[in-house]
Structure 1
Amino acid sequence: MSTDEDLFTDPPTTADGVIEAVAEAPIDAVRLQFTDILGTVKNVTIPPDQIKKAFEEGIYFDGSSIEGFVRIQESDMRLEPDPSTFAVLPWRKSDDGTHAVRLICDVIDTTTGKPFEGDPRYVLKRVLDRAREMGYEFNAGPEPEFFAFATDEGTATLEPHDTGGYFDLGPKDLATDLRRDVIFNLEEMGFDVEASHHEVAEGQHEIDFKYDDGLTTADNVATFRAVVRATAAEHGLHATFMPKPVAGINGSGMHTHLSLFTSEGDPAFYDGDDEFDLSETGKQFLAGVLEHAPAITAVANPTVNSYKRLVPGYEAPVYVAWSDVNRSALVRKPAARTPAASRIELRSPDPTANPYLALAAILRAGLDGIERDLEAPAPVRENIYEFDEDKREAYGIDTLPGSLGEALDALEADDVVLDALGDHVAEKFLEAKRQEFAEYRTSVSEWEHDRYLETF
């Protein structure tokens, strides 16, 4: 019989195991989780006695109400739970000792019985399949940052909850308890947390968890954001993954480490005879990421606010180059202690990205570099932030798009990244983001009032 402790220490990973655990353990609700095209986590809650039906028949829902899914006349969708994603929600324990559990689902198109092309999880699965056909397994390790702000009667403010800075200790860092509780909750949900620390800005934090295969990593990013926000709320705080909530200070990024392994389990990015310990495959992958970086930016930095972070002066990467020794380039080649740790780090993504779409776009770009035998440019080992425009031009260094509108233009012109997203997601994503950018362009900000209202 499954016990309360078993749910955390030995969670089931098969459909039969989940059905048995839900029947026998103190569980009062099952949340079926999925993600819309914009990366917002959605869920449908079912009572425990419906879990067998969920696995055998799926759970139907109205897709027309989900951003970017289907039209009203095509609204029926079906959720199919992935039993390997079973996890208890640690912060959700009732007074009677019962728990709620979570299962991440794939979305099925009921008209065809096949995976729904608008399901971001399916988008990533499709690109992962392409990598496997080429003989590779894809791993990723994100480093998501976030801010924690005070609340005023439950409403979020922009007041940082502490005055700490990079790697500070208490009393400046007041979030030790918050980060500790986030880590406890993550670990109870199966995460392997590697490190946590206060980031550069006041109220800003980073918690890093171990890399994993691409699909698990995307699932983990979606889960991580939910855990952080729920845990912060328990502390009376509001956690936000908004890239640049406060002007004049560092924004929040999600540096993402990337690697390929062969089907035999060998690290495909490692070459001990190379100056940078980077194989030809690794350099081709890197070249693909650099070539498609403008289009990737639309997916990995998908909000108007993302481009308030991607500006020179706040350690955010805006220059399309790579390096092994400095962080001013878009891609960094970190030192690797072992061949298996050989990887590249893409520093532009931010935590508002839909993790499934972002990883799909990045992976597809890298695979394109391998397929076309692209040659990586020479690394730039100087501080690009100190270059003037003429020197950047002499080095052949381009700049990432400066706005969401520019990034969307780049995406529309990039057949490789569009192919990664698929026709349905590409169309709906561009439609939603074009509307967002149009609304932003026609809005009038407080800065404009302060600057112009009494001057003109």
Structure 2
Amino acid sequence: MTKEEIFAIVEEEDVEFIRLQFTDIFGTLKNIAITARQLEDALENKILFDGSSVKGFAPIEDSDLYLHPDLSTFCIFPWRPQQGKVARFICNIHRADGSVFAADPRAVLLDAAKKAKDAGLNIFIEAECEFFLLNADDAGEVSLNVKEKASYFDIGPLDMSENIRRDIVLNLEDMGIKIKASHHEIAKAQHEIDFTDQDAIKCADAIQTFRMAVKTLAKRHGLSASFMPKLFDSENGSGMHFKISILNDDEENIIGKEGKLMPRAKSAIAGILSHARELSLINNPLVNSYKRLKPNFDAPVYVSWSSNSNRSALLRIPMERNNQMRMELRSPDSATNPYLCIAMLIYAIMDGIENTLELEDAINENMYSDKLYNIKKLPDTLSEAIEEFENSGFVKEKLGEHIFNEYLKAKKTEWNEFNNAITDWEIKKYLERY
């Protein structure tokens, strides 16, 4: 859209408030709300904010940052009042001199996508996003005392949240996000909504918009949505699977066809696997994330790939669709920062292709069996993931020193806080026994 078109829509649709949104390095969506009277200033990139007040962003002595709205992300929130409507832009962050702010996660992804395109790689991603819908107790606190008993693909009345998913899908499509499917997932109170293929930056933007919409609309239905990866000991956690297509500049699929992988695709997979452990802190960023990456919970454990539909592998080649082979990455979870996660996925693919990395043999059997495999595993704890991340020159180079150091510092603090906390498990296990 042009500026003139946006001004016209704001006037015709009676838009009163506009939210200028951005994402911090930990994946949290932020925004500044302005009135329509300030739209001209916003479109001329004159809206600034205090970067020192956003964790991990800027020091207090150099804290003025400017929001540059991406005009293509303009949309009206369909769930807000029809009089005095609310719209939004997703913004890029710049310094006062106009230069790109290096700690902006969206800027990291934009740079990665540009480098891939310059290398003749056009990467498209279909995201499958899982989440939980929970009730509140009598005190208004979110409760894990789930009433519904639905599981995979169940329908109402067993699935008690069909109408909420329908509401979410309709609102997202009103905002221009194309939805492929939605359904109840395996765990109780767990749901999945899948997007259609999009380029990398649109996919990350859609994930952030999706999270906001899910939480907002769940609240309107009297529920609370959570993207915490693992809620129940004996149930699956929430992942964020990526189905990846790679096209060349002639729009030809370079992954393969008729069940046969092309050489560059093999190198791309080798790149993803070779960096899987050091990228785990990005893909699986919480202490809780590593409770999901356990056998028999529909999440990968080994750094492995499968040439068929084996869902116990970290990366698999799903059944062909329209003769277009794709790759599916299954390790990221629902708490990841999508901008950093997808950016590092692109860099891992490029590293594999540029260096013609060798791909090890596929493992097409169930890796949740008792058999032991002589291959690397994903980190077992946040602490192990921190160590892999900290020792990675690849990650530091691609993320940039600022994000790398701030992210690492925050995750070390998180691990120390967890280690110092007395958990409910400890109280239940030890309090009366000793």
Fold agreement, TM-score > 0.5: yes
In the other structure, the counterpart of 2:7 is 19
Structure 1 pair 188/161, CA: closer, same or farther in 2 (3 Å)?
farther
The reply to whether residue 91 of structure 1 matches residue 69 of structure 2 is: no
CA distance in 2, matches of 1:67, 1:257: 31
Structure 1 pair 420/160, CA: closer, same or farther in 2 (3 Å)?
farther
SS at match of 2:78: strand
Q: Which stretch shifts more, 323-332 or 78-87?
A: 323-332
Is the 8 Å Cα contact of residues 124 and 360 (structure 1) preserved in structure 2? yes
* 1:117 maps to amino acid: A
The reply to whether residue 398 of structure 1 matches residue 376 of structure 2 is: yes
Is the 8 Å Cα contact of residues 83 and 103 (structure 1) preserved in structure 2? yes
SS at match of 1:385: coil
SS at match of 1:147: strand
The reply to whether residue 127 of structure 1 matches residue 115 of structure 2 is: no
In the other structure, the counterpart of 1:363 is 346
Match of 2:165 among 179, 188, 193: 179
For each residue in 1:72-116, what CA deviation from the matched residue of structure 2 results, as whole angstroms up to 9, or x when unmatched?
11110000100100111111115xx23100110000012x42110
Per the normalisation by structure 1, the TM-score is: 0.92
Deviation at 1:16, TM superposition (A): 2.5
The reply to whether residue 51 of structure 1 matches residue 39 of structure 2 is: yes
In the other structure, the counterpart of 2:141 is 155
Match of 1:423 among 401, 408, 412: 401
The reply to whether residue 197 of structure 1 matches residue 183 of structure 2 is: yes
Deviation at 1:154, TM superposition (A): 3.6
SS at match of 2:26: coil
SS at match of 1:61: strand
In the other structure, the counterpart of 1:60 is 48
Is the 8 Å Cα contact of residues 45 and 67 (structure 2) preserved in structure 1? no
CA distance in 1, matches of 2:396, 2:265: 23
Is the 8 Å Cα contact of residues 23 and 49 (structure 1) preserved in structure 2? no
Alignment of 1:127-146 (within 5 A): 127-146=112-131
- Please state which structure has a larger fraction of its residues in strand: 1
The reply to whether residue 232 of structure 1 matches residue 218 of structure 2 is: yes
CA distance in 1, matches of 2:365, 2:214: 36
Deviation at 1:271, TM superposition (A): 4.2
Deviation at 1:388, TM superposition (A): 2.8
Q: Which stretch shifts more, 415-424 or 345-354?
A: 415-424
Is the 8 Å Cα contact of residues 134 and 144 (structure 2) preserved in structure 1? yes
The reply to whether residue 166 of structure 1 matches residue 144 of structure 2 is: no
In the other structure, the counterpart of 1:353 is 336
Per the normalisation by structure 2, the TM-score is: 0.97
In the other structure, the counterpart of 2:313 is 329
Q: Which stretch shifts more, 405-414 or 360-369?
A: 405-414
SS at match of 1:29: strand
Structure 1 pair 377/174, CA: closer, same or farther in 2 (3 Å)?
same
CA distance in 1, matches of 2:115, 2:416: 35
Match of 1:206 among 156, 174, 192: 192
Deviation at 1:409, TM superposition (A): 1.1
In the other structure, the counterpart of 2:65 is 77
* 2:322 maps to amino acid: T
Deviation at 1:420, TM superposition (A): 2.1
CA distance in 2, matches of 1:15, 1:51: 10
Deviation at 1:58, TM superposition (A): 2.7
CA distance in 2, matches of 1:104, 1:15: 15
Match of 1:338 among 300, 317, 322: 322
Runs of 4+ in structure 1 off by over 3 angstroms are none
Is the 8 Å Cα contact of residues 161 and 174 (structure 1) preserved in structure 2? no
CA distance in 1, matches of 2:18, 2:68: 13
Number of residue pairs the alignment of both structures matches: 432
Deviation at 1:31, TM superposition (A): 0.5
Deviation at 1:294, TM superposition (A): 0.5
Deviation at 1:387, TM superposition (A): 4.1
The reply to whether residue 118 of structure 1 matches residue 103 of structure 2 is: yes
CA distance in 2, matches of 1:447, 1:439: 16
The reply to whether residue 385 of structure 1 matches residue 362 of structure 2 is: no
In the other structure, the counterpart of 1:3 is none
RMSD: 1.3
CA distance in 1, matches of 2:215, 2:92: 24
Q: Where in structure 1 are there 5+ consecutive unaligned residues?
A: 1-12
Deviation at 1:145, TM superposition (A): 0.4
In the other structure, the counterpart of 1:265 is 251
In the other structure, the counterpart of 2:268 is 285
For each residue in 1:44-64, what CA deviation from the matched residue of structure 2 results, as whole angstroms up to 9, or x when unmatched?
000001111111133100001
Structure 1 pair 344/235, CA: closer, same or farther in 2 (3 Å)?
same
In the other structure, the counterpart of 2:428 is 450
For each residue in 1:212-265, what CA deviation from the matched residue of structure 2 results, as whole angstroms up to 9, or x when unmatched?
000000000000000111110010000101001222111111111112211222
Deviation at 1:361, TM superposition (A): 1.0
CA distance in 1, matches of 2:385, 2:127: 22
Is the 8 Å Cα contact of residues 14 and 83 (structure 1) preserved in structure 2? yes
* 1:87 maps to amino acid: C
In the other structure, the counterpart of 2:291 is 308
Is the 8 Å Cα contact of residues 309 and 319 (structure 2) preserved in structure 1? no
SS at match of 1:384: coil
CA distance in 1, matches of 2:361, 2:111: 32
* 2:154 maps to amino acid: D
The reply to whether residue 434 of structure 1 matches residue 412 of structure 2 is: yes
CA distance in 2, matches of 1:106, 1:297: 26
Structure 1 pair 146/54, CA: closer, same or farther in 2 (3 Å)?
same
Is the 8 Å Cα contact of residues 253 and 348 (structure 1) preserved in structure 2? yes
Structure 1 pair 183/332, CA: closer, same or farther in 2 (3 Å)?
same
For each residue in 1:356-378, what CA deviation from the matched residue of structure 2 results, as whole angstroms up to 9, or x when unmatched?
00001111111100011001111
Is the 8 Å Cα contact of residues 193 and 209 (structure 1) preserved in structure 2? yes
The reply to whether residue 372 of structure 1 matches residue 355 of structure 2 is: yes
Is the 8 Å Cα contact of residues 292 and 414 (structure 1) preserved in structure 2? no
In the other structure, the counterpart of 1:109 is 95
CA distance in 2, matches of 1:263, 1:200: 39
Q: Where in structure 2 are there 5+ consecutive unaligned residues?
A: none
* 1:103 maps to amino acid: F
